[in-house]
Chain A
Amino acid sequence: MERKQMKKNLICINCPMGCELNVDYTAKKIIKVEGNTCKRGITYAETEIFHPVRIVTTTVRVKDCSIPFVPVKTEKPVPKKIAFKIIQRASKITLHAPVKSGDVVIQNIMDSGVNLIATRSLARTRQKSKKNT
């Protein structure tokens, strides 16, 4: 039985070129990708149609240093549909300085197989007074 053929226009987000892709596909596979400038566009089309993923970046509360929040990111792309859950999960923890860029903040976050890591190094400083936070 012939599977229903569908068309979609996507913009590849792999690099700043942002190629406009025309994708023909069925529920099970990609038939044709047009408009890409490199091979990564084809992989992107497949991923984006069937299991879209994103890198998630946010901030996490941190104590004992000069600023109250440290930026973090998922080490690899995670399923787009759990992005908000990851943000919420990250909002529950508090780190303590020192923090090194690359430190694992939450391992295998939300069972995605991906770690949430710090993206900035912060040295430990003296405890600041109430007024400064």
Chain B
Amino acid sequence: MNTQFDVVIIGAGVVGCAIARELSRFKLKIALVEKEADVSFGTSKANSGIIHAGFHSSSETVKGKLELAGNRMFDRLKEELDFPFQRRGELMVAFTEEEIRILQAFYLQGKNNNVPYLELIGRTRVLEMEPNLNPDILGALYAPNSGIICPYEYCYALAENAVRNGVKLFTNSKVIRLDTKTVKKRIKVITKNGLNLTGKFVINAAGLFADEISALVGITDFKIHPRKGEEYLLDKRVSSLVKRVIFPVPRKNSKGMLVIPTVDGTVMVGPTAVETKSKKDSSTTREGLQTVFRHAQHMVPAIRSTDVITAFAGIRPAATGEDFIIGATRVLGFINVAGIQSPGLTASPAIAEMVREILLKKGLPLKEDPSFDPIRKSVKRVRELIDKKNYAEFGKIIKSNKDFAKLVCRCENVTEAEIIAAVRNGHTTLDAIKFITRAGCGRCQGGFCTSRIMDIIARETGIPREQINKKGAGSEIIPFPVKKGDQSD
């Protein structure tokens, strides 16, 4: 196995994957090293999935500069990588005169940042656009260029395309040591599971653990202070409540609790923003539920907590100073890409380009690889065909592959063909399969499909059922086989 790389990227979240994919355009040997069982399993999987408009931060900040730049790149990325993305637009709504004034300030900031189509609109127009909003709203800032995506499908698409173009992905590989002394002009990357890689450059995209990775080379000038955000997913039956992402006027360290239509047809409310001590505490709380619904109902009165089908929490890797920390360091070859909280998802492709430029400046030759294929096709999803009753098209797809006739997840209409494709792409945890295919995401939350998904994984990979897990070793679903009779095959 080759262990010498031009670039080793630590962390396969949305940022690490975006960088990997961008660099895979060039004739470079790239390693993408991830401590969890699959890509996006850190902060990225808990993302709200919003592609922000570009007015939220001042262009004097790194995150402000990169927000609009990233936003602009998503149409092309969707074309190339085939993940769900819709420019729905967003409304930042104001209830008081003071909030209207804050809206105006954001409007000016947006104009200053060159955000296109930005408008300040009045109450009548707001309620025409979104009839289910609280009629007490005075006005809103309307940004039509804002969008929604599925963050993990985007992350998987980046990773799949990167790997197809030669990037080596190492999962279950937690970095425990970085050695800048032993090999000349290279950094050694040692992982807990025994990998020993070297890179001319090491990109620290380790999210919540970026400060700990940075400390491994002696750079300790920033700390990650985790900030937890709880989100609540509502049943598809309320999908017609809002068409656009609804924001309140934001507070100091967070964009506030939003009402977010998702690309899957559900509605999400949240996130909260609570400083936590532990980087591992992604628990949801009773108080969080009450806070989220209080705020969401203020904007959309018809929202009910009885519509919740599931809840989760993500942890923002906020860094000292609250801005992105992207740049070369005093350690030769070590590049930090840390503190990527909101608008990190939006900015991710722009971050990747920025990192590319840093590498170029630092002497990494970037020769375009003519065999680079930017196109990644997602596995066919039949649920839209079923939703739209397009049985003629569905029939054609079944003729091309009989496994599309085997319905596994009834709630989300996911077939065996899609799950087999995910498993063959290396995704063998139930969470990863859920994120990619949506099997298990629906109303019954895996009650019916879990058994069948486990059958498929067992059949495709030979992994015994008792070892099939939710999100990596230690999270087995049904770990204890009974000891009865003749257990041989």
Contact = CB atoms under 8 A, between A and B. Distances in A.
A and B directly contacting (CB within 8 A):
yes
A60 B459 contact: no
Interface in B443-489: 458-459, 462, 482-487, 489
State which size class the interface on A falls in: 10 to 19
A133 B487 CA distance: 9
A131 B458 contact: yes
Contacts of B459: 131-132
A81 B157 CA distance: 59
A91 B486 contact: no
Interface in B177-199: none
B482 A91 contact: yes
A120 to B, nearest CB: 16
A91 B485 contact: yes
Contacts of A63: 486
Nearest to B459: A131
Interface string A99-133: 00000000000000000000000000000001111
A46 to B, nearest CB: 35
Contact of B486 (A59, A61, A90, A132): A61
A3 interface: no
Interface in A3-62: 59-61
Given A131-B458, A132-B459, A61 B489 contact: no
B462 A130 contact: yes
Contact of B484 (A69, A132, A133): A69
Nearest to A58: B484
State which size class the interface on B falls in: 10 to 19
Contacts of A59: 482, 484
A113 B263 CA distance: 64
Interface in A66-88: 69
A45 B228 CA distance: 58
A90 B459 CA distance: 29
B489 A91 contact: no
A91 B484 contact: yes
Contacts of B458: 131-132
A131 B487 contact: no
Nearest to B458: A131
Nearest to B464: A133
Which of B459, B485, B486 is the most central at the interface, judged by chain A CB atoms within 10 Å of its CB?
B485
A87 to B, nearest CB: 10
A94 B486 contact: yes
Nearest to A96: B486
B65 to A, nearest CB: 52
A118 to B, nearest CB: 14
A60 B462 contact: no
A133 B458 CA distance: 9
A103 to B, nearest CB: 16
A61 B462 contact: no
14 contacts: A60-B485, A61-B484, A61-B486, A61-B487, A69-B484, A90-B484, A91-B483, A91-B485, A95-B485, A130-B462, A130-B489, A131-B458, A131-B459, A132-B459
Interface of A: 59-61, 63, 69, 90-95, 130-133
